[in-house]
């Protein structure tokens, strides 16, 4: 499930690509979806600033990553899929929810909420990375997730405050202790079949993020039992 195209106002492209590579390597058949709604705003990524008087559609922008093969999230049926994965990027906190603005009091897009609840009820695994675990924390009360560490640690974990918001929403945050490879690991909530990994929540090398996402995808596929 994508949330646009570009880290500051949509899906983090490296994360989406890593998810797709690892799913392909795992032999999965993939279908991509995004909500057919306007973005919260458009960010000029060369400046890191909102672009005034510009608007874009989440589904249309997500189609860039999907190479055109994308469907409205409203048409995603749990019965037709074994698992669902949400890459990160600020789009998860701006377009799939209002977390970027409202924090713990955020609202989740109704189709995103439906999908999360439907997969959870069906006992099918849910994978999330980077900031997107906040979606599960908000919708699935008591779910265990990780966004990495709970302290900034000199800028290594610049979004560490997210862990506190997760706790306030009723989720359980699980700190992942890493040594030389801070994003290699994924946390598996076996009870709720929710798998999360920090990805770009950590300032680390790209290959670490790629491998951490690989661990998340591998565990999601394992939980499908196929």
Question: What predicted TM-score, i.e. pTM, was given to this entire model?
Answer: 0.96
Looking at the annotation, which residues are catalytic? 130
Residue 169 is classified by DSSP as T
Query: Among 159, 154, 146, 153, which residue's Cα sits nearest to residue 187?
Result: 146
What is the dihedral sign for C-alpha 62, 65, 68, 70? negative
What is the dihedral sign for C-alpha 164, 203, 4, 176? negative
pLDDT of the chain, 226 residues: tens digit per residue: 999 999 999 999 999 999 999 999 999 999 999 999 999 999 999 999 999 989 999 999 999 999 999 999 999 999 999 999 999 999 999 999 999 999 999 999 999 999 999 999 999 999 999 999 999 999 999 999 999 999 999 999 999 999 999 999 999 999 975 544 444 689 999 999 999 999 999 999 999 999 999 999 999 999 999 9
Q: Environment class of residue 29 by beta-carbon count within 10 Å: exposed (0-12), middle (13-18) or buried (19+)?
A: exposed
Strand 187-189 and strand 194-197: the pairing is: antiparallel
The whole-angstrom separation of Cα 64 and Cα 199 is 21
Domain 13-224 falls in which CATH fold? Rossmann fold (3.40.50)
**Could you tell me if residue 34 is left (phi over 0), alpha (psi between -120 and 50 degrees) or otherwise beta?**
beta
Note the pLDDT of residue 180: 47
The whole-angstrom separation of Cα 42 and Cα 59 is 14
- Judge contact between 169 and 200, C-beta under 8 A: no
């Amino acid at each position: 499930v994508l949330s646009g195209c570009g880290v500051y106002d949509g899906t983090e492209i490296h994360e989406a690509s890593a998810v797709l590579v690892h799913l392909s390597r795992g032999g999965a058949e993939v279908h991509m979806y995004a909500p057919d709604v306007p973005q919260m705003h458009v960010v000029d990524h060369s400046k890191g600033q909102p672009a005034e008087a510009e608007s874009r559609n989440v589904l249309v922008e997500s189609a860039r990553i999907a190479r055109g093969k994308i469907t409205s999230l409203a048409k995603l049926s749990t019965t037709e899929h074994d698992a669902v994965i949400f890459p990160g990027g600020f789009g998860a906190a701006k377009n799939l929810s209002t977390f970027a603005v409202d924090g713990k009091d955020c609202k989740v897009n109704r189709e995103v909420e439906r999908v999360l609840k439907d997969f959870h009820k069906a006992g099918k695994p849910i994978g999330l990375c980077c900031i997107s675990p906040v979606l599960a924390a908000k919708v699935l009360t008591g779910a265990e997730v990780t966004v990495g560490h709970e302290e900034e640690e000199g800028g290594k974990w610049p979004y560490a405050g997210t862990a506190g918001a997760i706790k306030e929403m009723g989720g359980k945050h699980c700190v992942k202790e890493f040594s030389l490879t801070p994003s290699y690991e994924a946390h598996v909530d076996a009870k709720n079949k929710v798998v999360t990994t920090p990805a770009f929540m950590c300032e680390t090398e790209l290959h670490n993020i790629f491998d951490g996402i690989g661990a998340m995808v591998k565990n999601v596929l394992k939980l499908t039992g196929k």
